Structure 1
């Protein structure tokens, strides 16, 4: 099994922590090395080098531009695998370019991101695609369902409220008079009235005369998200950029059909006419044309939802993501200290 040095900006609940836990379940020894934002990259690199001289890991896995550079400075002959969660600002992209050219293995989170990595100088032969995962126990078809009314419910979820992520769905509502759009994300509900983005969405809804059918919930706690997803008839994903696609994964894990614009990880996750529908971007009429038949046919919604759950179980559980990550470690040249048998990737 591998001894893995997991290097990132901070240790917190989320994708990196879930991956580390899944790797540990497979029997690997995972040691977290969180970087304090107040510590310079060079100082952090020297700190890591000192630790690794005493207890060298089999592989280093970094998760941010700063941690990636520090890992490269410290690793010496130890293979460094770096996950590009997203390409950031021009300043970060200079670091991304350095990492992409020198890491033993670059990991993209979706097929679309591979082309971005090639654009910063990464070699295709040294790039693996390992998507984000989802907790298939927490997010499942069975469990509590959030209260809802009689209208068909379209649900959209995001970390922030940006009208560019929701304007297509709002503009499509006049074509779906029996549907409501529920948007979860942004500040807490009691702070929405002071939020400029929320006011922009309300103004857009009034412009299309659907103000009574657009509901902003504000931020929803992670533990409450499965019940909210189960309350939807269709989960809609129309972000400008979605390398992670976690909302779609969580919806599919809950057995919900997903209608998405083909961007980022959504292209890989949502199989058109199998687990949901992919719609042309920024086209409200096309969006409504696709969703109306779904709202009218619960059997099709159920079939899409069941297929989505099957796909998540097979491809996006954290145990599967951890297994795919160990394949990337092997391709980076890491040698486990004990023999390990890996099943073939699907």
Structure 2
């Protein structure tokens, strides 16, 4: 099967420290490679963000990346990139007319708009099927207290209504799509995956990118988008946990911590809370460094009001950490309450501190959570399974190709 993956805003090719940076880039890189291992040909269409990027690049066997020159050749914010979606869609239409795929798979709302527009401009005997992945929906973000984006919400609803199939990360998002009127049989829950070979309980736990643990302290670790908050509530919780220290990994965007306004604000917050000596803030860590940090910790805590991807939570589970998170979004799908961790009704400092004390006060329970988390991450979230479930979505929108596709085991179980 020829798959055209449309990702206007991200690039799966190595960027920072020889690897993709950002959750969407990691997702596309892993998914496309594993689809290729299943025998498919994948072309990823992205917007050119650097004048040095070639028009076409090979990412691996069966996977190519094409850079479309829509807008300035530099990274843009989501709002600014959306201004060039029309130009991106026009170039995409030209490319898929030259090399027509069996299915278009768009990731993100601007990519979905581009894919649907491009598909409608290509003359084929049958309409090109479009699969749409949403890692987050603005209606769900608003319910979690994040900013309203009315224009984006309208486009998301329109794209979801036009797509032949929709893929989301969690049952929460499937519920939101049902409220929009999207039939449930057109929506599949396929989570963000994890490399269980890289993220595992076994391996080194030391590195020089973070401060060494102080003797006798409990290490709490989190991965937080500094611009969206979530780390502040953990700092406030730290005031109630005098025996603990907190390591905050900035992500998913590339951040120069010493120069970043959000990082400086967070450091000031820690100082005002009187816990600056127990808070360490790192920049984004490589995929090699992050597992080493996770394995050095006692517990992973997400203070985010809304967890769209859930990748950091699953990676922590894969490294054997018990997890504490708010029971919304992808975290609620990943964490089995009372089995792999604790889900909270709200991300309040007192609730987080109480959950950390309870978990670490019962070492047997904490260890059991870690063991169960490793098993769940490896069985439910392996990229091989994620690719197999994605292939099953393609089967449903391309029934005429089903006989040509290899069977992937365990596609629809949870």
Shift, 1:277, TM fit: 1.0
Shift, 1:133, TM fit: 0.6
Structure-1 residue corresponding to 2:36: 24
Q: Any idea what the Cα deviations from partners look like across 1:93-112, whole Å, max 9, x if unmatched?
A: 33222211111001111111
Q: In the TM superposition, what are the counterparts of 1:142-291 in structure 2 within 5 Å? A: 142-146=202-206, 147-150=212-215, 151-160=217-226, 162=228, 164-185=229-250, 191-192=257-258, 194-291=259-356
Alignment pair present for 1:8 and 2:7: yes
Q: Tell me if the contact between 2:304 and 2:347 (Cα under 8 Å) persists in the aligned partners.
A: no
Structure-2 residue corresponding to 1:83: 133
Distance 1:70 1:287 in 2: 41
Match of 2:103 among 59, 66, 69: 59
Unaligned runs of 5+ in 2: 13-19, 21-25, 48-67, 73-83, 121-126, 139-148, 207-211
TM-score, normalised on structure 2?
A: 0.76
Which secondary structure does the structure 2 equivalent of 1:106 belong to?
A: strand
TM-score, normalised on structure 1?
A: 0.90
Which secondary structure does the structure 2 equivalent of 1:181 belong to?
A: strand
What count of residue pairs does the alignment treat as equivalent?
343
Match of 2:406 among 337, 340, 344: 340
Q: Tell me if the contact between 1:154 and 1:234 (Cα under 8 Å) persists in the aligned partners.
A: yes
Distance change in 2, residues 1:46/1:196 (3 Å): closer
Which secondary structure does the structure 1 equivalent of 2:42 belong to?
A: strand
Distance 2:96 2:227 in 1: 43
Distance 1:209 1:296 in 2: 24
Q: Any idea what the Cα deviations from partners look like across 1:191-225, whole Å, max 9, x if unmatched?
A: 43x54333433343344432322222233333211
Which secondary structure does the structure 1 equivalent of 2:288 belong to?
A: helix
Distance change in 2, residues 1:215/1:48 (3 Å): closer
Distance 1:176 1:263 in 2: 24
Distance 1:190 1:133 in 2: 27
Q: Tell me if the contact between 2:245 and 2:278 (Cα under 8 Å) persists in the aligned partners.
A: yes
Q: Tell me if the contact between 2:102 and 2:398 (Cα under 8 Å) persists in the aligned partners.
A: no
Q: Tell me if the contact between 1:113 and 1:243 (Cα under 8 Å) persists in the aligned partners.
A: no
Match of 2:386 among 306, 314, 321: 321
Q: Tell me if the contact between 1:58 and 1:334 (Cα under 8 Å) persists in the aligned partners.
A: no
Q: Any idea what the Cα deviations from partners look like across 1:122-173, whole Å, max 9, x if unmatched?
A: 33231111111111111111111034222110111123255x4023322222
Alignment pair present for 1:38 and 2:71: yes
Which secondary structure does the structure 1 equivalent of 2:404 belong to?
A: coil
Distance 2:349 2:361 in 1: 18
